[in-house]
Homo-oligomer: A and B are copies of this chain.
Amino acid sequence: MEKKLPTIKEIAQRLNISISTVSRALHDHPSIGLRTRMAVKKMAAELNYEPNQTAIFFKQRKTFTIGIILPNLREEFFSSAINGIETIAQQNNYIVLIGQSHDDIENEKRILETMKKHRVDGILASISKNTTQFDHFEQMKSYDIPVVFFDRVPDVPDVHSVSCNLYHSSIEAVEFLINKGHKTIGYMQGPSTLGIKNERLAGYYEALKKHKIPVDESLIVSTDLSTKSTEEALDSLLGKKKKPTAVLVFNDYVALDAIHYARQKKLKIDKDISFVSYANVSVTRYLDYPPIASVEQFPYDQGARAAELLFKLLDTKTNRQDIPYENVVLKSELIVH
């Protein structure tokens, strides 16, 4: 068992030809005659030869590996996104390295560093909730490692990204509530860093404006995504003299916590208070009281598109620095449950 793996050299020796001939023969290089080519291939098959990829990686300065950095694998959104990425990666004969930041920028930096060391050819990233500056990603440029952000994309101009347009569906979501007769609609936003260009909020404002509902800033609360913080945020909304009858919530996970808490407080869901959120996670299917609607963000597609963009970058021979930054924006869709 402890046998050394056969190399190109081994084949060459057995056939008494040079290793360059073997290499070329295996690659169907035209300068190698048919008979030797056949002989080489036959011998390669016999010996069960497989090229040593690490040698090739080294020589070619390419590893056929892309790195994915994201906050958390456990969120359905991200695991779906990975599926999209994996599909495209496979088509391109690439393999994926995964690192979770667990929403911590230090982890993010460490992972990036490790991936750089491993010489990944490119990186796909969804930033952590406390990533406010991007030097670590910026730095990848000097190593000629392209980075494409998806979903949680930094709000700076000079990056490639794929994300969802949440502005329109946020308007749609709020209008959906308004049409249901709601007049006092709260908004529970996520960590402020996650939405510098806060499309959700902008849509919220726009919808209210469109329907001539005055904005009450105290109806806008924040959660850091933890259960506790969400509960506090909801408390704050419920503590108002004029309580909201509906709340637009940052995402389904937060909504689940909010709904759970509201029910503990003996509120009747969809009677006393309704929730609409984002992500459209599949588990809501099993719930008796899911958000009445949720904005589908098509994680699989986002992942796939981001991967496609990355491979486009990897394919370009020209100086990558010259490629204009591309910011793909996908449509989202309000799904009513």
Segment with Cβ contacts to B, from A38-46, A71-79, A154-162 = A71-79
Residue of B nearest to A55 (CB): B58
A206 to B235, CA, bound (A): 50
A60 CB to closest chain B CB (Å) equals 9
Contacts of A61 in B (CB 8 A): 54
Contacts of A76 in B (CB 8 A): 74
Q: How large is the interface on A (under 10, 10 to 19, 20 to 34, 35 or more residues)?
A: 35 or more
Partner of A119, one of B52, B99, B117, B289: B52
Q: Are B83 and A100 in contact (CB under 8 A)?
A: yes
Residue interface bits A45-79, CB-to-B below 8 A is 1, else 0: 00000101111011001011100000001101001
Partner of A5, one of B64, B98, B143, B289: B143
Q: Are A54 and B63 in contact (CB under 8 A)?
A: yes
Q: Are A141 and B1 in contact (CB under 8 A)?
A: yes
A28 CB to closest chain B CB (Å) equals 19
Residue of B nearest to A96 (CB): B98
A79-B73, A283-B283, A286-B256 known; A53-B118 Cβ under 8 A? yes
Is A18 an interface residue when CB atoms closer than 8 A count as contact? Answer: no
Residue of B nearest to A56 (CB): B58
Residue interface bits A74-90, CB-to-B below 8 A is 1, else 0: 10100110110010000
Q: Are B65 and A73 in contact (CB under 8 A)?
A: no
A217 to B2, CA, bound (A): 49
Residue of B nearest to A281 (CB): B283
A79 to B2, CA, bound (A): 35
A114-B95, A286-B256 known; A119-B73 Cβ under 8 A? no
A83 to B72, CA, bound (A): 9
Is A144 an interface residue when CB atoms closer than 8 A count as contact? Answer: yes
Contacts of A79 in B (CB 8 A): 73-74, 79
Q: Are B99 and A95 in contact (CB under 8 A)?
A: yes
Q: Are B53 and A117 in contact (CB under 8 A)?
A: yes
A108 to B281, CA, bound (A): 27
Is A288 an interface residue when CB atoms closer than 8 A count as contact? Answer: yes
A269 to B23, CA, bound (A): 68
Residue of B nearest to A57 (CB): B54
A303 to B32, CA, bound (A): 50
Partner of A115, one of B1, B95, B115, B119: B95
7 other A-B residue contacts (CB within 8 Å) besides A1-B142, A53-B118, A288-B289: A50-B117, A54-B58, A65-B97, A65-B118, A95-B114, A95-B118, A283-B286
21 contacts between A and B (CB under 8 A): A1-B142, A3-B142, A50-B117, A53-B119, A54-B57, A54-B119, A55-B58, A58-B58, A64-B118, A74-B76, A82-B98, A86-B99, A86-B100, A95-B97, A96-B97, A97-B97, A97-B98, A98-B98, A259-B286, A283-B286, A288-B288
